[in-house]
């Protein structure tokens, strides 16, 4: 099973603030997902909560692990294509 680990108290506070106050729905959703994963929610539970696919959850987690806070935001298409693995 995969979970988000090692969030500092400051990062948790910031993610909570983003989740509650961001004007961007997708950013709020991703911040909430990272927090719930850190709290121990499984991939299946997150899929149900957010009504998205397993691949989407993994993308959100990968983006968080690689880019941290910047990973919560959509990147331009040309960035995504140039960094495709």
Q: Would the pTM of this model clear 0.85, i.e. be above it?
A: yes
Q: How far is CA 76 from the centre of its chain?
A: 17
Q: Which of 41-45, 59-63, 74-78 has the lowest mean pLDDT?
A: 74-78
List pLDDT tens digits, range 6-21. Answer: 999 999 999 999 999 9
Closest-CA residue to 39 (of 75, 82, 5, 83): 5
A 10 A CB-CB count for 57 gives: 23
List pLDDT tens digits, range 32-45. Answer: 999 999 999 999 99
């Amino acid at each position: 099973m995969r979970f988000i680990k090692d969030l500092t108290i400051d990062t948790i506070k910031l993610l909570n603030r983003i989740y509650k106050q961001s004007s961007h729905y997708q950013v709020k959703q991703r911040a909430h997902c990272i927090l719930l994963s850190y709290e121990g929610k499984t991939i299946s539970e997150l899929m149900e909560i957010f009504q998205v696919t397993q691949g989407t959850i993994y993308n959100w987690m990968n983006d968080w692990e690689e880019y941290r806070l910047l990973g919560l935001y959509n990147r331009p298409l040309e960035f995504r294509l140039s960094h495709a693995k």
